[in-house]
Amino acid sequence: MHIGVPLETHAGETRVAATPETIKKLIAQGHQVTVQSGAGVKASLPDHVYEVVGANIGDAATVFGADLVLKVVAPDDAELALMKSGAVLVGMLNPFCNETIARMAARGITAFALEAAPRTSRAQSLDVLSSQANIAGYKAVMLGANHYPRFMPMLMTAAGTVKAARVLILGAGVAGLQAIATAKRLGAVIEASDVRPAVKEQIESLGAKFVDVPFETDEERECAQGVGGYARPMPASWMQRQAGAVHERAKQADIVITTALIPGRKAPTLLHEATVEEMKPGSVVIDLAAAQGGNCPLTEVDQVVVKHGVTIVGYSNLAALVPADASALYARNLLDFLKLVIDKEGHFHLNLEDDIVAACLMCRDGNVVRTNG
Ligand code: NAD
């Protein structure tokens, strides 16, 4: 099979969908791989490191004209127009957007969105949400430390003692837990909250304090169980009590990192303007939900703004700020997914009885397979 690896052209994207490590394995399986010139440069992978493992270097028309195209994000219209009908596309294709799926279907291709894979043990090695959220959680702390005008750890010096920074983390999924671990390594004092009570133990095992917002009704308890491991929107009563708890904790915090997401919906508001107004001057908010509307209404997507003396960072693609490792992990996820759709003879094989393959399939031979509510 001819496999194409394009240069990602979306603004701010630095990652590449295949690395020399994964391409070497694909070539060993008998495939021919063409990498678009410059595709890996931002991830510290110049063309020659691909050539060393046997890849060809080509132009956009050649890579998008392949039988199988490996992408990071969904192709734009011009890129889709270069794909041939019947080709297969794999990437983070935004499965919640019907319009994107329809555009791909109209081109006559078969497309898989890896973000739609189930969060099961079997799917762990191809879980792109986890691999990229892990990086985002780490980078959020690095950005927080960078914008914070003080030290993170407690220091006792001849010139006096410096207090440890207080970090508040809202949402303790993959990104939030990595943010706790990273802030801990830098010596911060950490508090964290999540709607799912099951994460209390994980938060505490990483050395942070759990900010508890107890449930008062059966509806609140039931909503907090989530669905498929994901959070659901919580009733207004609980959100109001959570806002009260966050208000008190945020006033004491130096850095607030928000990561709360609800799949397919606008991110919940957790840090209200009235709370930001009372935060300490010089404190920092890193809003990882910026691309989904933000957990703070003052967040501006892909901007760093100062509001009420607080620096609010709204970068929408934190994984792209760690391009080499983000690409390495993403490329391995993708290679693992390919094992499910390429048979031993090296041909594309669609097994819809495989729950991972079925969940990721967006469109098939030009027909839309997945539609969202
Ligand atoms: P996510 O990115 O969808 O959301 C981030 C966090 O925000 C979640 O922990 C969510 O509960 C939380 N959140 C939502 N609304 C909130 C609110 N109002 N207040 C506070 N927090 C709120 O989540 P994720 O990191 O992708 O993880 C989702 C789940 O999937 C987790 O339970 C995780 O452990 C699980 N998971 C399972 C596997 C696996 O089994 N293979 C792999 C990865 C993740």
Question: What is the interface pTM, i.e. ipTM, of the complex?
Answer: 0.94
CB-ligand 1 contact for 260 (6 Å cutoff): yes
Calculate how far, in angstroms, residue 348's C-alpha sits from the geometric centre of ligand 1: 33
The b/e string for 342-355 (b: 16+ C-beta within 10 A; e otherwise) is beeeeeeeeeeeee
Residue 85: how many other CB atoms lie within 10 Å:
9
- Which residues are catalytically annotated? 119, 124, 127, 130, 230
Region 318-337: what's the mean pLDDT? Answer: 98
- Ligand 1 atom 1 nearest Cα: 261
Does one domain contain both 302 and 361?
Answer: no
CB-facing half-sphere around the CA of 11: CA atoms within 13 A: 4
Does one domain contain both 360 and 337?
Answer: yes
Calculate how far, in angstroms, residue 224's C-alpha sits from the geometric centre of ligand 1: 11
Ligand 1 mutation pick, 191, 259, 271, 355, max ligand atoms within 8 A of CB = 259
Calculate how far, in angstroms, residue 261's C-alpha sits from the geometric centre of ligand 1: 7
CB-ligand 1 contact for 126 (6 Å cutoff): no
CB-ligand 1 contact for 120 (6 Å cutoff): yes
CB-facing half-sphere around the CA of 106: CA atoms within 13 A: 10
The domain containing residue 93 runs over which residues?
A: 1-115+322-366
DSSP strand pairing (361-364 vs 110-113):
antiparallel
What DSSP string runs through 152-172? SS-EEETTEEEPPPEEEEE--
**Is position 166 within any domain?**
yes
Calculate how far, in angstroms, residue 144's C-alpha sits from the geometric centre of ligand 1: 21
Which residues contact residue 175 at a Cβ distance below 8 angstroms, ignoring those fewer than 6 apart? Answer: 133, 134, 136, 137, 140, 259, 288
Percent helix / strand / coil, the chain, rounded to 5: 40, 20, 40
Among 222, 304, 234, 309, residue whose Cα is nearest residue 270: 234
Does one domain contain both 138 and 278?
Answer: yes
* Atom of ligand 1 minimally distant from the CA of 174: 25
Calculate how far, in angstroms, residue 226's C-alpha sits from the geometric centre of ligand 1: 9
Choice between 372 and 37, residue whose per-residue pLDDT is larger: 37
Which residues contact residue 45 at a Cβ distance below 8 angstroms, ignoring those fewer than 6 apart? Answer: 16, 19, 20, 39, 324, 327
* Burial category of 209 from C-beta neighbours within 10 Å (exposed 0-12, middle 13-18, buried 19 and up): middle
Which residues contact residue 113 at a Cβ distance below 8 angstroms, ignoring those fewer than 6 apart? Answer: 91, 92, 93, 94, 95, 360, 362
CB-ligand 1 contact for 233 (6 Å cutoff): no
CB-ligand 1 contact for 128 (6 Å cutoff): no
Does one domain contain both 155 and 303?
Answer: yes
Calculate how far, in angstroms, residue 327's C-alpha sits from the geometric centre of ligand 1: 22
Condensed to tens digits (0 to 9), the pLDDT of residues 303-318 reads: 999 999 999 999 999 9
**Range from 46-60, 120-134, 227-241, 350-364 carrying the lowest mean pLDDT:** 227-241
Give me 248's structure tokens: 């008190």
Condensed to tens digits (0 to 9), the pLDDT of residues 199-239 reads: 999 999 999 999 999 999 999 999 988 887 778 899 999 99
Does one domain contain both 315 and 338?
Answer: no
Calculate how far, in angstroms, residue 233's C-alpha sits from the geometric centre of ligand 1: 12
Among 151, 163, 149, 137, residue whose Cα is nearest residue 286: 137
% the chain with pLDDT above 90: 91
pLDDT at residue 272 is higher than 90: yes
Does one domain contain both 300 and 327?
Answer: no
CB-ligand 1 contact for 194 (6 Å cutoff): yes
Does one domain contain both 149 and 267?
Answer: yes
In angstroms, the CA 145 to CA 227 distance is: 34
Among 121, 128, 110, 129, residue whose Cα is nearest residue 370: 110
CB-ligand 1 contact for 257 (6 Å cutoff): no
Q: What is the DSSP letter of 346?
A: S
Give me 307's structure tokens: 């509001």
* Residues forming a β-bridge with 257: 169, 286
Condensed to tens digits (0 to 9), the pLDDT of residues 45-66 reads: 999 999 999 999 999 999 999 9
Count of domains forming the chain:
2
**Is position 153 within any domain?**
yes
- Ligand 1 atom 7 nearest Cα: 260
Does one domain contain both 96 and 214?
Answer: no
Residue 373, pLDDT score: 67
Q: Over the chain, what is the mean pLDDT?
A: 96
Condensed to tens digits (0 to 9), the pLDDT of residues 90-100 reads: 999 999 888 99
Condensed to tens digits (0 to 9), the pLDDT of residues 164-190 reads: 999 999 999 999 999 999 999 999 999
Does one domain contain both 32 and 175?
Answer: no
Helix, strand or coil, per DSSP, at residue 214? coil
* Atom of ligand 1 minimally distant from the CA of 198: 32
- Ligand 1 atom 36 nearest Cα: 119
CB-ligand 1 contact for 213 (6 Å cutoff): no
* Atom of ligand 1 minimally distant from the CA of 260: 7
Does one domain contain both 28 and 155?
Answer: no
Does one domain contain both 158 and 265?
Answer: yes
CB-ligand 1 contact for 193 (6 Å cutoff): yes
Helix, strand or coil, per DSSP, at residue 56? strand
Residue 226, pLDDT score: 82
* Burial category of 227 from C-beta neighbours within 10 Å (exposed 0-12, middle 13-18, buried 19 and up): exposed
Does one domain contain both 314 and 326?
Answer: no
Residue 197, pLDDT score: 84
**Is position 174 within any domain?**
yes
In angstroms, the CA 210 to CA 110 distance is: 44
Residue 298, pLDDT score: 98
| Amino acid of residue 149 | P
CB-ligand 1 contact for 211 (6 Å cutoff): no
Helix, strand or coil, per DSSP, at residue 57? strand
